[in-house]
Chains A and B, each alone.
Chain A
């Protein structure tokens, strides 16, 4: 397992990650880039089923319907800002909103079946959601990307672990490095433009199921926070890394609830039959002006349910039985239709929930199902807003939000999309695909304006190679110290590192077992422990390429965890009750904290700098 071969790939645009954002970026980049430019995509799996949407989806959650007059991008910004309790980059959100319908219509053209109303318009679930027969949404999105780029430009099973900087300019990107988990090859990509489209982070916090169920995280277990793990150690300025999303989902299988709330009109009631949205309505008054927003922001709905559970009024049940009986009205044919739709919601996108129902003998028309608050997730595409601080679009962004190229990070030539872009939530599948496209067009623009090849010295390549392959060396060097490979005083396995990280995050960073609550001293203790973990992760051991990939995944997750702890400490308020609580600053404080918390890691000084950036109400103002 020596990875004797180093393959050097020279290209003009490197897209890291082949999920929805990456496929969108590939499609758009190839359109605008001249035929003399090489566009390459690297992906750790196979793009037909990689990324968070690989399992499928039962709905597209970001669609304006501008052609039907349903919504404007301004409507979208108002909704998103309220749902985020006042904090989102309005320029970025508007930009996704104005472009996203193009992507949805193309996905339909490429073969995605979208439900229709009798008048021929798309069916609707809520204001922004449209139901789809979406089991194959990912292969459908991947096909044009693969065709357009050409298979020879798609490097699958290549795990990218590090970014390369230009030897002559530490603020300029020069490519990326990684390795193949199949071909025993070390990879260097030399590229003057890089677009990061990789995922947010599951499994940073200890999940509620910790044995086999470690894989049944709500967000994909293979979303390892590499969007952040690549950028943070490279010194990219990050924003809103304190933000997390705590999904309310069907218990254990983590089946989606949106269809149940918005399409079937089901209610969640506690064990006493009470509806927390009614019994706890007054609680919303503490969080004005967001408390009276319609719809009630997601964290506040979580918060109302949380209070019920904490007071011992659970279990909380989604009354699927009541909803389905009401919808069918005693008509067996109508019930067949509703049952068919209910099961499709899970079978399209969260099959384990269907299996959980079958195994627990739950027929939803007869038996209600438990819902819970899950463990926290740190992401930028769904209802989370962690990610890089990027330049906005030229025609919308204020001067301090714009530095030349849309979606460019604070490293020149390094762009981000999807989970990698901070303060731009509620993109979901279609919006992430769209943001990949936005970033890619801007990246081509940058490339045209900035000709020249990146400078990557042999010394940088050698150093990177040593760093990336070090877990294999560590294992070989120390394996003789023990009769049991898993217990060795000189190293940790990737799984052991992951469990340590999850314990720190759960107990110090307001995880589920801590009732999502923390305070300054607890966070400071957590930071002490995660600093030691970061040192220990220099001593990970790997016995195979597969384990080597796991080692770098936990390294990436640990960067996410540390950034999260530091950001949580910096924001002295409780802005998102239902996601987390600062017991020492229990109130929402718009006057002092309606601003973005940003951070940069300085590798040379081994230190973090935290700052704030002002809020610009470009649309809502």
Chain B
């Protein structure tokens, strides 16, 4: 389900980032910059899993998806819009019916996590046992289970 870029909206993330965010984020190295046109494009549409990573991240909302020609009839739209803590999805059917769905996806701001905060496992003394870091706070039971007999 290949992504496509609206050339009237894409600004190649000019001045905002080190490079276009779609090129940064695509998990399959598909989104690329056409340096002549200075626009993003999908360089290998049949390797696109329509994961929407680029669609969700594009600051201009310049990227959308046209369903795989193999089996998706034309005319539908599924477009996310970012909210403070998640996404609002606009879903338009081929026959014109439309729905909106809004879901949270984060309960705390990105960048606010302090790794190992409050962990008590001894980085030297506990290295030989079976406990993982944070077990004492986060496992949920007092003791790591072991099977009855070996």
Interface residues of A (CB under 8 A from B): 27-28, 30-32, 34, 44-46, 48-51, 54-56, 66-67, 72-74, 94, 98-99, 101-102, 105-106, 108-113, 133-136, 139-140, 143-144, 147-148, 157, 181, 209-217, 220-222, 252, 339-340, 343-344, 347-348, 351-352, 354-356, 358-361, 363, 393-396, 398, 434, 437-438, 441, 444-445, 448, 546, 549, 618-619
Query: Are A111 and B71 interface neighbours, CB within 8 A?
Result: no
User: B9 at the A/B interface (Cβ < 8 Å)?
Assistant: no
A217 and B50 alpha carbons, distance in the complex (Å): 10
A50 and B28 alpha carbons, distance in the complex (Å): 8
Residue B73 contacts which of A140, A339, A343, A360 (CB distance < 8 angstroms)? A360
A27 and B112 alpha carbons, distance in the complex (Å): 16
Given contacts A66-B141, A343-B91, A359-B74, contact A99 B27 (CB under 8 A): no
Q: Which of B25-49 contact A (CB under 8 A)?
A: 25-29, 32, 43-49
Q: Which of B126-149 contact A (CB under 8 A)?
A: 127-128, 130, 132-135, 138-141, 144-147
A437 and B119 alpha carbons, distance in the complex (Å): 15
Query: Are B101 and A344 interface neighbours, CB within 8 A?
Result: yes
Given contacts A215-B50, A351-B78, contact A45 B28 (CB under 8 A): yes
Query: Are B106 and A215 interface neighbours, CB within 8 A?
Result: no
Query: Are A148 and B115 interface neighbours, CB within 8 A?
Result: yes
Residue B140 contacts which of A56, A105, A215, A396 (CB distance < 8 angstroms)? A105
Q: How many residues of B contact A (CB 8 A)?
A: 78
Residues of A within 8 A of B135 (CB): 99, 102
Q: 16 interchain pairs (CB within 8 A)? A: A34-B123, A44-B29, A46-B25, A51-B27, A66-B145, A106-B134, A106-B138, A111-B108, A136-B86, A213-B46, A216-B49, A347-B101, A355-B67, A356-B71, A358-B94, A359-B74
Query: Are B103 and A212 interface neighbours, CB within 8 A?
Result: no
Chain B 70-106: CB-based contact to A (< 8 A → 1; otherwise 0): 1111111110100000110101111101010101111
Query: Are A66 and B53 interface neighbours, CB within 8 A?
Result: no
B122 CB to nearest A CB, Å: 10
Query: Are B1 and A438 interface neighbours, CB within 8 A?
Result: no
A340 and B104 alpha carbons, distance in the complex (Å): 12
| B interface secondary structure, majority | loop
Query: Are A54 and B106 interface neighbours, CB within 8 A?
Result: no
A188 and B26 alpha carbons, distance in the complex (Å): 24
Residues of B within 8 A of A32 (CB): 123, 127, 133
Closest residue of chain A to B118 (Cβ to Cβ) is A109
User: B14 at the A/B interface (Cβ < 8 Å)?
Assistant: no
A219 CB to nearest B CB, Å: 9
Interface residues of B (CB under 8 A from A): 1-2, 24-29, 32, 43-53, 65, 67-78, 80, 86-87, 89, 91-95, 97, 99, 101, 103-116, 119, 121, 123, 127-128, 130, 132-135, 138-141, 144-147, 150
A222 and B25 alpha carbons, distance in the complex (Å): 13
Query: Are B68 and A49 interface neighbours, CB within 8 A?
Result: no
A437 and B133 alpha carbons, distance in the complex (Å): 9
Q: In the complex, which of the residues B27, B80, B108 has the most CB atoms of chain A within 10 Å of its own CB atom?
A: B27
Query: Are A101 and B103 interface neighbours, CB within 8 A?
Result: no
A142 CB to nearest B CB, Å: 10
Residues of A within 8 A of B43 (CB): 546
Query: Are B145 and A72 interface neighbours, CB within 8 A?
Result: yes
Query: Are A111 and B127 interface neighbours, CB within 8 A?
Result: no
Query: Are A618 and B150 interface neighbours, CB within 8 A?
Result: yes
Residues of A within 8 A of B106 (CB): 111-113, 136, 140
Query: Are A133 and B104 interface neighbours, CB within 8 A?
Result: yes
Query: Are A396 and B116 interface neighbours, CB within 8 A?
Result: no
Closest residue of chain A to B108 (Cβ to Cβ) is A111
A56 and B86 alpha carbons, distance in the complex (Å): 12
Closest residue of chain B to A109 (Cβ to Cβ) is B138
Residues of B within 8 A of A108 (CB): 107
Query: Are B130 and A363 interface neighbours, CB within 8 A?
Result: no
Given contacts A49-B53, A355-B72, contact A395 B130 (CB under 8 A): yes
Closest residue of chain B to A68 (Cβ to Cβ) is B140
Query: Are A356 and B72 interface neighbours, CB within 8 A?
Result: yes
Residues of B within 8 A of A136 (CB): 86, 105-106
Residues of B within 8 A of A212 (CB): 1-2, 45-46, 48, 68-70
Query: Are A220 and B27 interface neighbours, CB within 8 A?
Result: yes
Residue A215 contacts which of B48, B76, B97 (CB distance < 8 angstroms)? B48
9 more A-B residue pairs beyond the given contacts A214-B46, A361-B97, with a C-beta to C-beta distance below 8 A: A55-B52, A105-B138, A135-B86, A147-B113, A222-B27, A347-B87, A355-B1, A358-B77, A359-B74
Query: Are A215 and B69 interface neighbours, CB within 8 A?
Result: no
Residue A359 contacts which of B94, B114, B145 (CB distance < 8 angstroms)? B94
Residues of A within 8 A of B139 (CB): 66, 99, 101-102, 105
A50 and B49 alpha carbons, distance in the complex (Å): 12
Query: Are B53 and A54 interface neighbours, CB within 8 A?
Result: yes
Query: Are B51 and A55 interface neighbours, CB within 8 A?
Result: yes
Residues of B within 8 A of A549 (CB): 29
Query: Are B115 and A147 interface neighbours, CB within 8 A?
Result: yes
A497 CB to nearest B CB, Å: 14
Query: Are A215 and B103 interface neighbours, CB within 8 A?
Result: no
Query: Are B68 and A352 interface neighbours, CB within 8 A?
Result: yes
B86 CB to nearest A CB, Å: 7
Query: Are B141 and A343 interface neighbours, CB within 8 A?
Result: no
Query: Are A143 and B27 interface neighbours, CB within 8 A?
Result: no
Given contacts A32-B123, A45-B26, A358-B76, contact A211 B68 (CB under 8 A): yes
Residue B97 contacts which of A101, A344, A363 (CB distance < 8 angstroms)? A363
A340 and B100 alpha carbons, distance in the complex (Å): 9
Closest residue of chain B to A90 (Cβ to Cβ) is B147
Query: Are B141 and A209 interface neighbours, CB within 8 A?
Result: no
Closest residue of chain B to A55 (Cβ to Cβ) is B51
Closest residue of chain B to A26 (Cβ to Cβ) is B115
Query: Are B46 and A211 interface neighbours, CB within 8 A?
Result: yes
Residue B25 contacts which of A49, A211, A359, A434 (CB distance < 8 angstroms)? A49
Query: Are A351 and B51 interface neighbours, CB within 8 A?
Result: yes
Residues of B within 8 A of A99 (CB): 132, 135, 139, 144
Query: Are B29 and A143 interface neighbours, CB within 8 A?
Result: no
Residues of A within 8 A of B128 (CB): 445
Residues of A within 8 A of B51 (CB): 49, 54-55, 220, 351
